[in-house]
Amino acid sequence: MPKDFSRTRRVAEQMQRELALLLQREVRDPRLAGVTISAVDLTRDLSLAKVYFTLLTEDITKEEAQQALAKASGFLRHALGEKMLMRTLPQLRFIYDDTLVRGTELTNLIDQAVAEDRKKHRETD
């Protein structure tokens, strides 16, 4: 039975923090100014890291951000190597995280349904 705080999970959390700081402070690409790291999933053998990102602004599309992150992945991996004490660092694969967008859409749908229900309820009274 796996532990609640496995090594993989701890390393992934540290990678998320370090990548967020690197994007904020050291990456010079202006396309990545509105990019945040929402999660990191590591394989059990620590060979691959799926890095999930979100966009805070609409200045750039998710495809452009993904290309910019892929281009910066060598720099990010090298900088992670200096900050994290690991023998080998995983390959970084960047994936757009659309949970915030879907959550906003669902909230809007629920609000719209509630407003229509109230309107119908008022009309019947």
Q: Is the pLDDT of residue 5 over 70?
A: no
Residues 112 and 114: their CA atoms lie apart, in Å, by 5
CATH number of 7-97: 3.30.300.20
Q: Is the pLDDT of residue 31 over 50?
A: yes
Residues 43 and 41: their CA atoms lie apart, in Å, by 7
- For the chain, percent of residues with pLDDT exceeding 70: 95
Mean pLDDT of the chain: 88
Q: How confident is the model at residue 39 (pLDDT cuts 50, 70, 90)?
A: very high
Residues 116 and 118: their CA atoms lie apart, in Å, by 5
Residues 56 and 120: their CA atoms lie apart, in Å, by 37
pTM of the model: 0.78
Q: What is the DSSP letter of 58?
A: S
pLDDT value at residue 76: 94
Among the residues of 26-98, which ranges form H helices? Answer: 62-83
Q: How confident is the model at residue 80 (pLDDT cuts 50, 70, 90)?
A: very high
| C-alpha 50, offset from chain centre | 9
